[in-house]
Structure 1
Amino acid sequence: MNESPGVADLLGVLAYAELSAFTRMTEDAATLAPTLADRTALCELAVAEYQHFRLLYDRLRELGADPERAMQPFAGALDAWHTQTSPADWLQALVKAYVGVGIALDFYREAARRLDPSIVELVDEVLTDEGRAEFAVERVRAGVAADPAVSGRLALWARRLVGEALSQGQRVAAERPELALMLVESGANDQAEISRLFAKLTEQHGKRMAALGI
């Protein structure tokens, strides 16, 4: 593999994230969706996540990497995040799909921005929203309108999602230094770069919360 050492890590963590998203969305659709229309819509989004997974899996093979080996280092952290943030109801599942997954994907997009254009293009393609935001925002806002009391509960849930996501992100960065280095420009002040990253992630999170109306 001739790419930078962190590329296999980035594509590996993204591939496992997409596979996990597919699995969790199908589970939530089956167990939490209140109507058949909601179940159908969430399953369609899950299919898009699986298609993204296949793109990443195939690119890893094209680069001469073993996809399973590339994904394995990240399975523990991502599985732990999903276990610790298992939604209790439909609205929590939607907030997780939009806010929790969203901040993780922002992180991966930042990690890719200095790579070869072909890799950047692939990452942009697999991080395409595919309607997840519109689907979640529409239903969460309707839920809050029907019962304003859920707004505070969902805001606390979103805060927990982000806290757990950032904690697991720090764990991954500590265990995979090649991936962490992709977030910092060569010769730059590491702390300043990390501060800039977290400020950008926080800004995007704030926009998502505002869109949800919570």
Structure 2
Amino acid sequence: MPTGHLLSGRFYRPSGSTLSHVPSDPLDDLAFRGAVGDVLAVLAYGEISAFSRLATDADLAPTLAGREQLARLAMTAFGNYDLLAGRLRELGVDPEDAVAPYVASFTAYHERTRPSNWLEGIVKAYVGDGIATDFFREIAAYVDPTSRAVILRALDDQVRSDQLLDIARVALIADPVVSGRLALWGRRLMGEALSQAQRVAAERESLASLLSGRFGGPGFDLAQLGEMFQRLAERHTDRMARLGLSA
């Protein structure tokens, strides 16, 4: 019988611990706390980046109604950033310091996926951010319950997803000729988003440890990682289908 305790349904045992050394709070393990902080930091930087991109897209919207919708979505993204940054502060982490290791990686990703027009930017927000949301919902199962609740609240993007979908659909109806190009754009976003997720996890030892199961449960083996990315691909296909585009 393994020693340790359950962390919301997952077996948690800090590296090298014995029964007598199991912390009363899993966050007492500084390595685990650091990994949780990294998850929160990646998400926080993603949300502040989404705020900036949606605000820019709002300025470019062809109608006042579209501008208003995107401005409100930008405000929601900033609220999510505030929520995640608040949790980082509760853990004794400065948000600016926490996100610093991810700035270059995110900047490179956004450079590789720079939209050529307003509609591509909307599809990127809908598809690319949706893939990232799915990925971090998977990872949220490995953090402490309080941080998980914060993360899942920040990732509750149904309203944002639905509104972006509506905006994109209206634009596609007005100009159906662009459908083929946007389908290719969606495929490119899928590949880049998955590569970005893998890159971020590999670059930070704490995130790799979290996924490998060092802090609890069996973690992801190669087969389980494959299954996770298959789930992400299937959800991407569903999103593209809702747009009326092939994945």
Same fold, TM-score > 0.5, yes or no = yes
Q: 1:54 to 1:109 in 2, by over 3 A?
A: same
Distance 1:13 1:79 in 2: 13
1:39 is the counterpart of 2:67? yes
CA distance, structure 1, for counterparts of residue 224 and residue 158 of structure 2: 30
Distance in structure 1 (CA, Å) of the matches to 2:169 and 2:65: 17
CA RMSD of aligned residues (A): 1.7
Q: How many residues end up aligned between the 2 structures?
A: 213
Contact 1:112/1:182 (<8 A) preserved = no
Within the alignment, does 1:13 sit opposite 2:39 as a pair?
no
Give, in whole Å, the separation in 1 of the partners of 2:72 and 2:233. 29
Question: By how many angstroms is 1:18 displaced?
Answer: 0.5
**Structure 2 stretches of 5 or more lacking a match?**
1-26
Q: 1:99 aligns with which of 107, 111, 127?
A: 127
**CA shift digits 1:115-171 (9 cap, x unpaired):** 222111111110111622222222222222233221111111111112111222222
CA–CA distance in structure 1, aligned partners of residues 88 and 155 of structure 2: 16
**Pairs within 5 Å for 1:63-212:** 63-129=91-157, 131-185=159-213, 186-187=217-218, 190-212=221-243
Identity fraction in percent: 49
Which one is further off, 44-53 or 146-155? 146-155
How far apart, in 2, do the equivalents of 1:20 and 1:108 lie? Answer: 16
Q: 1:110–1:183: 8 Å Cα contact kept in structure 2?
A: no
SS, match of residue 131 in structure 1: helix
CA distance in structure 2 between the aligned counterparts of 1:27 and 1:74, rounded to whole angstroms = 21
Cα distance in 2 for partners of 1:103, 1:189 equals 19
Q: Greater CA radius of gyration, 1 or 2? A: 2
Contact 1:103 1:201 in 2 (8 A): yes
**TM-score after normalising by structure 2:** 0.81
Name the amino acid aligned to 1:92.
Answer: E
Answer whether contact 2:134 2:232 (CA < 8 A) is retained: yes
Which structure is higher in helix share?
Answer: 1
Gaps of 5+ in 1: none
Moved more, 83-92 or 187-196: 187-196
